Structures are given as structure tokens and as C-alpha cells.
Amino acid sequence: MTSNDKIIEIEVLRYRPEQDEKPFLQSFKVPFTDDQSVLQGVQYIKDYLDGSLSFRWSCRMAICGSCGMMINGVPKLSCKTFLREYYPGKITLEALKHFPIEKDLIIDLSDFINKLESIKPYIIPAAPRTLEQGEYLQTPRQLDRIAQFSSCINCMLCYAACPQYGLKPDYLGPAAITLLHRYNEDNRDAAKAERMQLLNAHEGVWGCTLVGYCSDVCPKDVDPAAAINRNKLNSTMDYFLRFVAPRGGN
Amino acid sequence: METIKADIVIVGGGGAGLRAAIAAAESDTGQSIALVSKVYPMRSHTVAAEGGAAAVTQPQDDLEYHFNDTVAGGDWLCEQDVVEYFVAHAREELVQMEHWGCPWNRKEDGHVNVRAFGGMKIERTWFAADKTGFHMLHTLFQTSIKYPLIKRFDEYFCVDIVVEDGRAQGVVVIEIATGRICFIQARAVVLATGGAARVFRENTNGGIVTGDGMALAYRQGVALRDMEFMQYHPTCMPGTGLLFTEACRGEGGYLINKDGYRFLQDYGLGPPSDEPRNKFMELGPRDRVSQAIWHEKQKGRTIDHPHGQVVHLDMRHLGEKKLRERLPQIYELAEEFMGLDPAHEPIPVLPGAHYTMGGIETDGRTATSLPGLYAVGECASVGIHGANRLGSNSLVELCVFGRVAGDEASSYAKSARNSSTATLEKKADDICNRVRGLVNNANGKERIADIRNEMAKSMEEGCGIYRNAPVMQKTCDKLEELKQRYRSINIEDKSSAWNTEWLLAIELGYLLDVAQAVACSAINRKESRGSHQRLDGYEQRDDQNYLKHTLARYNSEGPPGIEYSKVKITKSEPGIRAYGEAGEKAEAERNKKKGAAHDK
Ligand SMILES: Cc1cc2nc3c(=O)[nH]c(=O)nc-3n(C[C@H](O)[C@H](O)[C@H](O)COP(=O)(O)OP(=O)(O)OC[C@H]3O[C@@H](n4cnc5c(N)ncnc54)[C@H](O)[C@@H]3O)c2cc1C
Ligand code: SF4
Ligand code: FES
């Protein structure tokens, strides 16, 4: 067995809506081994130091998207960030930036969920196929166009990184635009024009000022900034085509 | 307490629950569906499935082969009529997933590609890189948004089923964000709450996989079937139990011991070849491979590791390019969690608890013995996995039987009537008081984490890869003790909003009941079959006495009652379960016999 000989200080921004007027920092001393994640650190706090500390987690393997938090000011997945990287310094944990806090490290996600639902994130085919007709054909090259953009785990790190989302909460934001792009680029789908109307409406894609921090923090190499950029171009085309074509330009 | 009315309530937003919800929404009844999940649906543990989903696809493959692989893989404890239905509907469900946008890997010509998987005679596993479950779950979740009849209750935690007049008529749930308790009244209830491998210490499951639906149905008198069959996956990360998919071996990875020797050839899985060969060596079934690792450890041929005795998963010969393309997530796990490069170093692995073959007893149409209650997915025992599940059969199960559950629940709800709302609300109120009482009265000194850890350790000791009566008995006794101690549990947090300590306490109650069903089912099965292997005089399979399903029945006073029920055999008589060269011989024998029978 590995021994827990090292102790790290973890400071957590607490907020309990029924008791606290405003958030406050609380510090804990946590024994750890080199292979332990920040998530395991907060689990230790919950199990042995303060049972009321609340945070989301499930898979422990960077795929369910639950465990994002600000770790020393940077949005990260706590299950794949390791305590050793911060030792002997201390770690400060806060809820993801730009979201309302429900309790401690738990944010209110409903704004994003509404956005995700609004962009028609499903295949709308030109002519539906029956099951007997078998699968649509999609070459590896066509799959490549959507593979990366369909790898988003909805972890919200990019929203916590996005200065525009902080200023204009109406902005669709990196992950929602990426998902929209993923369906638009799918050769099985025929609803690009519908979705582009959504994108061109109010704060669709124009909120972005090309900071690119979203792609830096993305734990799954989705590169949302690339999706946004391509849609800025698409949107510009659309905008001008609007004057020549009857309904959008697609 | 607020009452919410729906026609059907589905508890669980994983692959099974979402597929059921879509099927119900597509039926022509126009019924409303309440979809309850304690996490946002896309966080459900289906997200973690890596390897793929099986369906007969290639011209040289045959439904008969998939049937035989599944039934022999399950050591003949499968319901064969249900397996027939399953293999016959697998492909159409995966095509359906394709139509909904699942990004399956493709061949150059644009058709879906398949890969090899353990215990499967022909390659038939559809895959989306090594994130198949992730892609299936997000596809289903996003597609479900299309249906206005599906009303989601995201982050609502189910605490009980409301049973009145002998029928399931709704569920009581906690809205996690506020702590508010509500009653969702419905005419049919579908449980799709996933497995229970968190009863073990070293496991591949997410924190939410705590057997909730199993415990809820069990406490209502529905039997848990074949709970002794817990699958150990052979290749997990030491310490955390995180999974390295079987596809690592499907793509050609080797398992080697401390001498660099491919030891599986010593356990009836050989002879070895450089290229992967279906049902040989590393592509043997999971129970056999995990058992071989256990034996290597006894022989002192494993490797010391801070988290125990390990063997090596060696993929160096596959090269970085192929690994990055076919197994990108595995690459990431090795690099980021273990700090090693699998293209240049072997990965230390050991077996971990992975999958619950047993579950809530249902018939082949997902109906339980309680009218109005259906169960589907890993929480259910519909009968296809028997004593050992084949990898890539369960993602398909979610689709095939998720659809059945949605259809069945919606036709049941069409004809069923609810009892008076007042009567139901009275029941719901009682449940509400009990659940609130748990937190208000929890001023004992027992720590949740202590009970949970002691349970998981004891389960690993008593109900691990190899079992014997004295140790299983110790586990049974330990569980009794822990259930007593659970009564004086302490919950420090008395608040309402996001009181996750309260939820953990409720989940621990579920875990303890399910663990007890596992341990008591195991000690009573005096034979070895599939994943249930004994070393105390019951080393052989005993069809005379144990070609039977175990049924564990809840007993609030102590250990469950154990009964048995018949196994449905349609066309495959129990035979020798063999792999590698011996397997080929056995299959030839069987075909000869069959041919002779035909000639007569
Ligand atoms: C690491 C890993 C890899 C795997 N790889 C493969 C593979 O390659 N191929 C394959 O076929 N199978 C694989 N499996 C198995 C397969 O993924 C699972 O059996 C399957 O995904 C389970 O799906 P489910 O819908 O039944 O449950 P889950 O996806 O676990 O969903 C359960 C749902 O129930 C909800 N729930 C639970 N309790 C409550 C409650 N009290 N109140 C409200 N909601 C509740 C949860 O929120 C969740 O939405 C793998 C499993 C693991 C762990
Ligand atoms: S784009 Fe990346 S950072 Fe943003 S939600 Fe998706 S996975 Fe997370
Ligand atoms: S716990 Fe699932 S992403 Fe971290």
C-alpha cells in the first residue's frame, strides 16, 4: 500500500444558501499520495472532515463532465488534476466562474441546458430512412469532420473561461455553438439553414471576441474556438446572402 | 407535498432509460413521460462504456453464432428465448442509433466498421472509437430533446415506489437542488437505474452506480435474480479500478506476467498467435481471463505494484498511430492518470468489479412480478447474461430492451387506472416522513464512509473472483453487523439544498441491501459456474442441482430468503464451455451431434 505521508492544504470557497449571506473560504488539511486527484482530496474532506461539503462527481475518468471547478483560478476537471502538482503549495477551489452557485462547488447549469435544447441537437434528415434500408453511408473523412466536435462532455470549463459569457449571459457560448456545428457538418443532416437562423439571432455567434481561452481549457481537445470561428465565417456569408437569397443562404 | 402527474414515469436517464422514454414517446398513445434521473442524463454511467456494442453484421456471421456465443458465454444460465429475441433485434437497434446520429467508426466505403471482442466467434462489435457509451448516451440524450412528451426531472433522486392495490403507481423523489420532496403519480413505472458494482472496493463504476432501483424493487417484494454473478473485468487501473477496455485486446494487445510470458495459454485459452484470434487467448471471456490472473498471483508470477499484484497489458507492438486512432481514451488514461506512454511501456492492470449480471427479475418483455413495474438495463435481469456477460452485449441490451420497456409500459398505462390520488398521496406522505426522518434523526456516531468502506472490503474478500464458504459467511455476518450500525448513522448536514450527505446515506442503505443479496445468493450456490467460482469442494458446474436461477427475496428482519427458478432452454443443451483450441474441438463435436440428429 502507498502511505499517506504528505499533507496538503485545500481551501474551499463555501456557500450554503440556507445559512450563509455570502461565500467564505474554509481551509482543510488533507493527507494524500502522489496518484491522488483533487477530486479524491475533496472526497476525503467530505468523508472525514466536513460531511456538508457538496460537489458533483461520478465517473472519476474525465468522461461524465460532472466535476469541473476552478482550481487555483483555472477551470479544470478535478478528477484528472492531481494534488501532487500543487504540493507543497496550497490549493484553492471555487465553483466554476460565470455561473450562479447553488451550493459550495455546485453551479446552476440550467442556462446551458436551455441553450443546448434550443439548437436542435439531433439529426434532421432530408429524407428519413427506414431501418430496413440500413445505415446512412458516411466515409471516414466525413466522420472526421464531426468527430472532434462531437466529443464534448458538457463540462462547462469553456464557459467558465469565456470572458464574453461572463459579460453577456445571452451568448450561446462555446459548447452549444460547437454542438450546433457538429450537427450542421454531419452529412446525414439537412437542417443547417434552420440552425443558422438560430445562430444569427441576437447573441448567437457574434458575442465571441476570439479570445480562444475556451480551447485552452477544454479537457477533451474539442477546440470549440475552431467551431466558433468557422461559424463566424458561415454567419457572415449568411448575412450577406440574406440580401440575395429569399431565405438564408444554404 | 406536491403531486406531479404523468402517464409513465421512468427512473434512470442512462442508455436504457432514454431508449425507453423515446420508445414510449413514439408510441401513438400521446402519453406523457416523466424521466427522472439523479444526475443530468449525459452524466449517467453509460457514458463510461468504451469498447462497443454487438450485433450480427458481416455476411459470414449468423444470428445462431451470436446466440451460441452468448449462451455458452453465460454458462447456460441464460433465458434462451430472450437471447433469441435479443440477437434478432440487435442490429436494427444499432442502425436506429446510426440514424439518430451516433458517430460509429466506418470502413472506407462508408459502412459501419466492426471490431473483435472477447468470447465472440466473429467480429460484430460496433464502436465509436473507445468512447462508444459516451457517444451512444449523448446521441440518445440529444435525440430525446426532440420529443415534447418527455418531461425531464434532472437531478431528482428517487427514494421509493408507491404501491397501492398491488400495482406500482408512481414514485417519490427529492429535488436535489432544494431538498423538496414530491410525488410523481403515474400508471406505469420503469426502473432503469443501472448496476451495483460500487458494493465492491476496486471497481470500474461511477460513484452513482449504487444499485438504487434494485434495492427499491427488492424492498417491494420483487425478487433479485442471479445476484451472485458479478463480473470482474481483467484489465483495470490499480488503485482506482478505472477500466482499460477489452478493445485493447480486441485490437491486438497482450496480457503478460512478470516474465513477459503470455500466461493465458496455461489456462485453456491457447495456443497463442501474434494476431488476435477470436475466442483464443486474450479474446477469451472475462471470467476466465480474470481467474487466470488470480492463479498467476498464487504462483508468484505477477508484478509488485503499490496497489497490489498486477500483470501487464502490453500494446507496444500496436504502435502509437493505431493506438491514438482506435484507443484514444485509453491512451489519455494511461498518460494522464498513470504517467506512462502505452506505445512504449506496458500498462499495469488488475481485475476489478465491473458489471452486475443479475438484477431485478423480469420476464422477456421487461415486466416484473409487480404489475405496473418494469425494469430494464443493468438493474434488470431479463435473462441474456446468465453467469457471465459477454463484453459489448449490454450496450445493445439497453437499446433492444429499452425499446421493449417503453412499448410495454405505454400499453400497460393505456389500460391501467390509478387509485384515488388522495390514497396515493397518503402513501407518498408516509414515505416522505420516513425519508426526512432519516436526516433529522441521524445523530448517531457511525460514519457513512466507514460503513461503506467496510462493506466494500468485505465484499471483495468474500465475493471476489474465487469464493469459499467460511469467507462468504464472514461477509454475510459483516453485512448484518453493518446494517445494524447503519441504524445509528450520523448525518452532520441538516440543510435542504444539495444535501449530498443525506443522499449518500440513502444510497448506502441501497448498497447494503444489494450487497446482502449478492453474498447470500453466492453462499447458497454450491457449484462453480461462470463468474461464480468456488474452491471449497464445489469446483465443478453442477447442472443436476444448479441449472437454476437464484431468486433472493427481501426480508426486513435479516438475510434474504433464497429460492430457485427454472432456466428456459430452447435449443442449446448445456455443454462443455471451452475456448481456444479446446473450444474449437467442442464446437466441432456439437456440430457433429447436431448433424447426426438431423440425419435421423
Ligand atoms: C467502464 C465501463 C465500460 C463498459 N464498457 C462496455 C462496453 O464496451 N460494451 C458494453 O456493451 N457494455 C459496457 N459496459 C456496461 C454498460 O455500459 C452498462 O451496463 C450500461 O451502460 C448500463 O446502462 P443503464 O442505462 O442500465 O444504467 P446507467 O447508465 O448506469 O444509468 C442509470 C441511471 O439511473 C439513474 N438513477 C440511479 N439511481 C437513481 C435514483 N435513486 N433516483 C434517480 N435516478 C437514479 C442515474 O442517474 C442514471 O441516469 C461498461 C461498463 C463500464 C462501467
Ligand atoms: S467544449 Fe470542451 S470545455 Fe467546453 S464543455 Fe465541451 S468538453 Fe468541456
Ligand atoms: S468525475 Fe466524471 S468527469 Fe470528473
Other C-beta atoms closer than 10 Å to the C-beta of B237 total: 25
| Sequence-separated (6 or more) residues with CB below 8 Å from residue A246 | none
Please say whether the beta carbons of A217 and A152 come within 8 A. Answer: no
The answer regarding whether domain A110-241 maps to CATH 3.40.50.10540 reads no
Asked if residue B542 has pLDDT above 70, the reply is yes
pLDDT score, position A237:
60
Residues for chain B: how many in total?
600
The Cα angle at residue B394 between residues B389 and B396, in degrees rounded to 5: 135
**CATH topology (fold) of A6-107:** Ubiquitin-like (UB roll) (3.10.20)
Q: Express each pLDDT in B390-407 by its tens digit.
A: 999 999 999 999 999 999
Asked if residue B503 has pLDDT above 80, the reply is yes
| Cβ-defined contact of A19 to B495 (cutoff 8 Å) | yes
Helix, strand, coil proportions of chain A in percent (round to 5)?
A: 40, 15, 50
| Cβ-defined contact of B208 to A19 (cutoff 8 Å) | no
* Closest CA of chain A from B129, distance in Å: 10
- Distance in angstroms (rounded) separating the CA atoms of residues B440 and B459: 30
pLDDT score, position B597:
66
- Distance in angstroms (rounded) separating the CA atoms of residues B302 and B293: 8
CATH number of B232-353: 3.90.700.10
Amino acid at B278: N
H/E run at residue A165 = helix A163-167
* Residue of B47, B142, B177 with shortest CB distance to A59: B47
pLDDT score, position A248:
38
| Sequence-separated (6 or more) residues with CB below 8 Å from residue A18 | B495, B496, B497
**SS3 at position B597:** helix
What are the cell numbers at B164? 397501492
| Sequence-separated (6 or more) residues with CB below 8 Å from residue B548 | B564, B565, B566, B567
| Cβ-defined contact of A143 to B500 (cutoff 8 Å) | no
Residue-by-residue pLDDT tens, chain A, 250 positions? 445 579 999 999 999 999 999 999 999 999 999 999 999 999 999 999 999 999 999 999 999 999 999 999 999 999 999 999 999 999 999 999 999 999 999 999 999 999 999 999 999 999 999 999 999 999 999 999 999 999 999 999 999 999 999 898 888 999 999 999 999 999 999 999 999 888 887 566 777 877 889 999 999 999 999 998 888 777 666 655 554 444 433 3
| Cβ-defined contact of A183 to B491 (cutoff 8 Å) | no
* Per-residue H/E/C for B136-154: HHHHHHHHHCCCCCEEEEE
Measured by CA distance, the residue closest to atom 3 of ligand 2 is A218
- Rounded to the nearest 10 degrees, the angle between the axes of helix A224-241 and helix A174-184 is 70
Q: How far is the CA of A105 from the centre of ligand 3 (A)?
A: 14
Burial of B320 (0-12, 13-18, 19+ CB in 10 A): middle
Cis peptide upstream of residue B271 (ω within 30 degrees of 0): yes
pLDDT score, position A249:
36
Nearest CA in chain A to B491: A51
Asked if residue B594 has pLDDT above 90, the reply is no
Strands B466-467 and B533-534: parallel
Q: Express each pLDDT in B416-431 by its tens digit.
A: 999 999 999 999 999 9
Asked if residue B133 has pLDDT above 70, the reply is yes
Please say whether the beta carbons of B123 and B114 come within 8 A. Answer: yes
Asked if residue B118 has pLDDT above 60, the reply is yes
Domain locations in chain B as residue ranges: 232-353
Strands A6-14 and A24-32: antiparallel
Q: Express each pLDDT in B409-419 by its tens digit.
A: 999 999 999 99
Tell which residue, B82, B75, B74, B66, has the closest CA to residue B570: B82
pLDDT score, position A250:
37
Measured by CA distance, the residue closest to atom 7 of ligand 2 is A152
Contacts with B451 from chain A: Cβ below 8 Å: none
* Closest CA of chain A from B237, distance in Å: 11
What is each CA distance from A165 to A111, A152, A173, A209, B166, in whole angstroms? Answer: 11, 18, 6, 11, 52
Q: Express each pLDDT in B4-35 by its tens digit.
A: 999 999 999 999 999 999 999 999 889 999 99
